[in-house]
């Protein structure tokens, strides 16, 4: 059997990780002891793992979360009144699957943004599409989209996102236009998506 042409055919079919695993297994002496079913199982596992990794990387890229925020690194000793049991329940993402909304509030500097990004990261790892936006930037993007005639398309994109995180909600009052935009976003998410403020 010709090894390299077979690997190239796998690549042509879009099975690059399987092709790489096939070539690696050819170079291991222990691989000769494996049955055909074991070989196939190992090749499929490699391909599935690679595809899952690519999908996760895509979800994280689209989400634009802070890269160092992960649920596992949460410091419960920090004096911010964070309930460990509740936070672990939130990290299970059931509230997202049931289209429930969440508001994280507290004084400046207590890590609200970090906690929101950590929950968003966890959701991405659970296969949920997430989008993180700071409120000033989101409202600016909506105003620009309105001016360019792209507002319906942008609102549709926001609606398709399962978890929308709106961060840095400041103390300044919303304009009438911003209130309408926020109402539209909230209405679009009713029983279809989750909003984390």
CA dist 165 and 154 (Å) reads 15
CA dist 72 and 146 (Å) reads 40
CA dist 176 and 50 (Å) reads 47
Write out the chain's pLDDT in tens, 197 residues: 566 777 788 788 888 888 888 777 877 777 767 777 877 788 888 888 888 899 988 988 888 897 788 888 888 877 777 888 998 999 999 999 999 999 998 878 888 899 999 999 999 999 999 999 998 899 999 999 999 999 899 988 988 899 999 998 777 788 888 888 888 888 888 888 899 99
DSSP strands (E only) in the chain: 130-134, 163-167, 194-196
Number of Cβ within a 10 Å radius of residue 163: 27
CA dist 62 and 10 (Å) reads 29
Number of Cβ within a 10 Å radius of residue 28: 10
Q: What is the largest CA-CA distance in the chain?
A: 71
Sheet containing 194-196: give its strands across: 130-134, 163-167, 194-196
CA dist 130 and 7 (Å) reads 36
Return the SS3 of 92. Answer: coil
pTM score, whole prediction: 0.79
């Amino acid at each position: 059997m010709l090894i390299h042409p077979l690997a190239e055919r796998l690549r042509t079919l879009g099975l690059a990780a399987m092709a790489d695993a096939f070539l690696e297994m050819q170079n291991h002496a222990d691989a000769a002891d494996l049955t055909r079913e074991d070989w196939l199982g190992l090749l499929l596992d490699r391909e599935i793992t690679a595809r899952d990794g690519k999908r996760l990387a895509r979800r994280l890229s689209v989400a634009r979360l802070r890269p160092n925020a992960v649920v596992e690194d949460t410091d419960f000793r920090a004096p911010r009144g964070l309930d460990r049991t509740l936070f672990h329940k939130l990290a299970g993402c059931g509230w997202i699957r049931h289209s429930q909304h969440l508001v994280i509030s507290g004084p400046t500097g207590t890590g609200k943004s970090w906690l929101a990004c950590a929950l968003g990261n966890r959701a991405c790892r659970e296969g949920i599409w997430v989008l993180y936006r700071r409120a000033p930037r989101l409202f600016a993007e909506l105003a620009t989209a309105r001016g360019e005639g792209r507002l319906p398309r942008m609102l549709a994109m926001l609606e398709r996102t399962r978890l929308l995180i709106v961060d840095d909600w400041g103390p300044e009052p919303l304009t009438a236009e911003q209130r309408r935009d926020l109402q539209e976003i909230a209405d679009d998410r009713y029983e279809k998506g989750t909003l984390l403020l």
